[in-house]
Amino acid sequence: MVPNLDAAAEKITPGSVVVLALPCQIVLVERLRLPTADAEEIEGMVRLKLERTLPWPDEVTSGYSVVKRGENESVVLVAALHTPMLDSLCEPLREKQVTIRDVTLYASTAAAACPKNQAVLLLYQENDQIILAVAEDGQLGYVHSVDAADPQILGSELPPILLTAEMEGVPSEFSAVLLDKSCEGLRWLGPLLGVPVELVSIGESPVQCTIDLLPPSWVQERRRLRRWEGFRARMIKAGVGVVGLVMLAIGYIVWLQFRVNAVDRKLEKLRPELATVQERQQRWSAVAPAFDPSLFPVELLYQVYQSLPSEDVRITRFVQELDSFTVEGEAPSAIQAIQFTDAIRANPELAEFSVEAGPPEILPNDHAQFQIFAKR
């Protein structure tokens, strides 16, 4: 026996494969009645239930087992826990590269060792708590924990606990009470419930994972680790070839660097000519409106008038600047103002201009005042 996982990790050989059975203190367990018997539907309904009730917003690992299955209804025991807490708990094992094959609930494994076709009450101790588990046909159907500081208090707490369980559909008539050796002092529960008491050794039972709580991220991490180990083995076998490829890559990089330096030297010689060409382009762009007939104010204004959707749309102001022009006016309606803007955008003679316009302003006479800005 070891007190915690840190001590257990010291005794486990690195690379070992283990099964982890979690105590009830860190796992949320709930019994559900679901109106379905289909496996895929059960899984979906369990996931939906957890999303609505769990205190953690995300990063949840969950599992379930079907306690009873009927034609129209199934009884399911669901277990869930916060994945970051599980990561922190198992950090000592994972640091030693111990492979955790399965994660399950310890109470579930204990119930799996109980007799089949019977309902039994199983009691054992986890740290400072006594766990009351109801096993139905060898499966965990209900679990509850009480403070183990004063076991005699259990006598007064047991009836309301069993009554609550019975209201949830848990069998209340047991064929036996099974006590782990850690709870040997609770033999008086047999006469209280009117059933025989048997001592068992839960820790010696083989672990059966009826509830799977292995986080999917751990499964993916294990697969990645296996792929990496295989890749590393192949890399070692092909070591000589890899060295040759690396040397070839280094030579290619040196050659590329030489070519880059040569291009840089040529570019440095051409830089003055490039600067002259760019300066000429800027000058031409500045004076282009004076020489390009398509940019003459008269031509632009003509194209704007050609874009009028109707004679009722009137232009009240036209301003041209170096590389832009502004059109202001009034239309009988906002729709015609918007149509005028779209017509300017669609005019092929004004295609080099980017046209922007805000929403028309509605005047007191229900006309729409607009302003259109075009930039080249």
d(CA 143, CA 165): 9
- For residues 203-226, average pLDDT: 74
Q: How far is CA 370 from the centre of its chain?
A: 49
pLDDT at position 189 is 80
Candidate from 59-63, 149-153, 192-196 with smallest mean pLDDT = 149-153
pLDDT of residue 329: 92
Distance between CA atoms of residues 215 and 63, nearest Å: 10
Residue 1 has pLDDT above 60, yes or no: no
Asked whether the predicted pLDDT for residue 328 surpasses 90, the reply is yes
**Segment of 123-132, 175-184, 203-212, 250-259 carrying the highest mean pLDDT:** 250-259
Q: Residue 285: what pLDDT? A: 65
pLDDT one-digit tens code per residue, 185-211: 788 888 888 888 888 887 666 666 778
Most confident of 40-44, 157-161, 191-195, 339-343: 339-343
Q: What is the pLDDT of residue 327?
A: 92
314 secondary structure, DSSP code = E
CA separation for the pair 155, 132 (Å, rounded):
12
Q: Report pLDDT digits (tens) over 262-275.
A: 888 888 888 888 78
CA 179, chain centre distance (Å): 42
pLDDT in tens, 83-103: 888 888 888 887 777 778 788
Side chain identity at residue 150, one-letter code: D
Alpha helices in the chain (DSSP H): 5-11, 39-53, 83-89, 91-95, 106-112, 154-167, 189-193, 216-237, 239-291, 297-306, 334-346
Indicate the range of 82-96, 104-118, 146-160 predicted with least confidence.
146-160
Query: Looking at residues 298-309, what average pLDDT do you find?
Result: 88
CB 305 within 8 A of CB 291: no
Place of tokens 């379905």: 36
What is the pLDDT, as a whole number, of residue 108? 85
What's residue 34's pLDDT?
84
The fraction of the chain above a pLDDT of 70, given in percent, is: 90
Q: What is the mean pLDDT of residues 314-333?
A: 89
Q: Which range has the top average pLDDT, 79-88, 227-236, 361-370?
A: 361-370
Q: Does 338 score more than 60 pLDDT?
A: yes
Average pLDDT over residues 166-182: 85
What pLDDT, on the 0 to 100 scale, is given for residue 291?
Answer: 58
Residue 326 scores a pLDDT above 90: yes
What pLDDT does 251 receive?
A: 87
Q: What is the pLDDT of residue 295?
A: 76
Least confident of 178-187, 207-216, 313-322: 207-216
pLDDT of res. 139: 85
So what's the pLDDT on residue 97? 76
What's the average model confidence in pLDDT over 209-220?
79
As a whole number of angstroms, the distance between CA 7 and CA 268 comes to 68
Lowest mean pLDDT among 9-23, 148-162, 331-345: 148-162
Mean per-residue pLDDT over the chain, rounded = 82
